[in-house]
Amino acid sequence: METTVTDLVLILASTVRLSVPLIFTALAGLYAERSGVFDIGLEGKMLFSAFAAASMAAVVAQSPTFGPYAAWLGLAAAIATSILLSLLHGYASITQRGNQIISGVAINFIASGLTIQLGNAWFGQGGRTPQLPNSARFTELTLPFADALRPVPIIGPIYANLISGHNILVYIAFLAVPFTWWVLYRTRFGLRLRAVGENPGAVDTAGISVTWLRYRALICGGILGGFAGTYLSIAQSASFIREMSAGKGFIALAALVFAKWRPVPVLFTCLLFGFLDAVAIRLQGTSIPGIGEVPVQFIQALPYVLTVILLAGFIGHATPPKAGGVPYVKER
């Protein structure tokens, strides 16, 4: 009993850790796509901002004045980078009315190539950034009483290992979900953002700039993308590694579709996909009684398979924002 609880708590804690980058990135995509701009470039934003965070933290880590704030400066650099990529995407797909998907693909390539190239030129470690000391990272926080409560059965391990013991970005991720819900459904900006994704013509008629609104949505996405990258490189690990986003941006995209472009379901879908990832890591090479060895690849492919099945309309129906992917042309 005791070990099962501990085991379960460990898997769930790992689920939480693995789902954080998905939550940030899927929410980033949510702002963009609800405003009518498809964002395939999520992966690239995550990767590039991970690089920016790790580079900035590595550069300032030893400085006496900035050293103590290295992690936060890393986060700022990551957010700035991610916003720049968002603006590039916006310039191509809103201002120049280019193909949003092609623009996203371009951003992914650019991020993939430029991070390794710059990392190699700056740090000379084949695309890696230098290993960071803990003072330059977001490290685990211990919530009050975590150690005192640990011996208590069931509640103890849950509080000490599942709720406590994460870095601050994890808590920000979980707060970002209700915040996004509030922005989207309870503010004027959110109402307009949803409207511009469904019927930009109506928004334009109301005298609101479609262009500026979509740019702002992309900037929101950029900020969240920066958090996702920061989490990867200076919270979950201690340096940037080439291609470290490893398709997480696309899993987040799948989660966004799976959640039908709504913030609260995004949270649960990301937790589900994170859980599958945690289970896949956990089951590597072990065999379950009665089933035998479950191929890890099967569990890894499950998020994508589930998303395709959902898209096919076999479990509910995922309707994307109506104006998604279509550049807005003002009537002449």
Partner 1 sequence: MSAPYGQLPRWVEFGLLPLVNVVVAFLVSGLVVLFIGVSPLEAVGYLISGALGSGEGLGFTLFYATSFMFTGLAVAVAFHAGLFNIGGEGQVYVGGLGAALAALALDRYAPWFVTVPAACIGAFAFGAAWAFIPAWLQAKRGSHIVITTIMFNFIAAALMVYLLVNVMKQPGTMSPQTRLFDTGAAIPRLGWLMQLFGMKLGTAPLNLMFLVALVAALLVWVLIWRTRFGYEIRTMGTSRTAATYAGIPYVRTVVITMLISGGLAGLMAVNVVLGDHGKLQIEFPSGAGFVGIAVALMGRSHPAGIVIAAILFGILYQGGAELAFWVPNISREMIILIQGLVVLFAGALENMFRPALVRLFARRPQAAHKAA
Residues 6 or more apart whose Cβ sits within 8 Å of residue 162: 9, 12, 13, 16
108 binding partner 1? (CB under 8 A):
yes
Asked if 220 and 33 count as a contact pair (C-beta separation under 8 A), the reply is: no
279 binding partner 1? (CB under 8 A):
no
The residues in 160-219 that bind partner 1, with binding defined as CB under 8 A, are: none
Q: Which is nearer to partner 1, 76 or 118 (CB)?
A: 118
Q: Which of 40, 169, 228, 323 binds partner 1 (CB under 8 A)?
A: 40
Of 182-190, 202-210, 269-277, 307-315: span binding partner 1 (CB under 8 A): 307-315
Q: Which is nearer to partner 1, 88 or 169 (CB)?
A: 88
Distance, C-alpha 251 to centroid of its chain: 9
| Residue 154, Ramachandran bin (φ over 0: left; ψ between -120 and 50: alpha; else beta) | left
Of 9-17, 78-86, 192-200, 306-314: span binding partner 1 (CB under 8 A): 306-314
SS3 287: strand
| Closest distance to partner 1 from the beta carbon of 97 (Å) | 7
Q: Which is nearer to partner 1, 13 or 280 (CB)?
A: 280
109 binding partner 1? (CB under 8 A):
yes
Residues 6 or more apart whose Cβ sits within 8 Å of residue 87: 215, 218, 219, 222
112 binding partner 1? (CB under 8 A):
yes
| Closest distance to partner 1 from the beta carbon of 198 (Å) | 16
Q: Which of 6, 120, 125, 237 binds partner 1 (CB under 8 A)?
A: 120
93 binding partner 1? (CB under 8 A):
yes
Residues 6 or more apart whose Cβ sits within 8 Å of residue 91: none
Distance between CA 85 and CA 96 in Å, rounded?
A: 15
Of 23-31, 142-150, 228-236, 249-257: span binding partner 1 (CB under 8 A): 249-257
Q: What angle in degrees, to the nearest 10, is found between the helix axes of 263-283 and 248-258?
A: 130
CB < 8 Å & 24+ apart, contacts of 58-65: 58/123, 58/129, 58/130, 58/132, 58/136, 58/239, 60/136, 61/132, 61/133, 61/135, 61/136
Of 13-21, 158-166, 281-289, 296-304: span binding partner 1 (CB under 8 A): 296-304
288 binding partner 1? (CB under 8 A):
no
Around Cβ 330, how many Cβ atoms within 10 Å?
Answer: 10
Please report, as a single letter, which amino acid is at residue 111.
A
| Closest distance to partner 1 from the beta carbon of 318 (Å) | 8
Backbone angles phi, psi at 284, to 5 degrees: -50, 115
284 binding partner 1? (CB under 8 A):
no
Distance between CA 285 and CA 94 in Å, rounded?
A: 48
Q: Which is nearer to partner 1, 68 or 320 (CB)?
A: 320
The residues in 121-140 that bind partner 1, with binding defined as CB under 8 A, are: 121, 126-127
Binding site for partner 1 (CB under 8 A): 38, 40, 88, 92-93, 96-103, 105-114, 116-118, 120-121, 126-127, 242, 247, 250, 253-254, 257, 295, 297-298, 300-301, 304-305, 307-308, 311-313, 320, 332
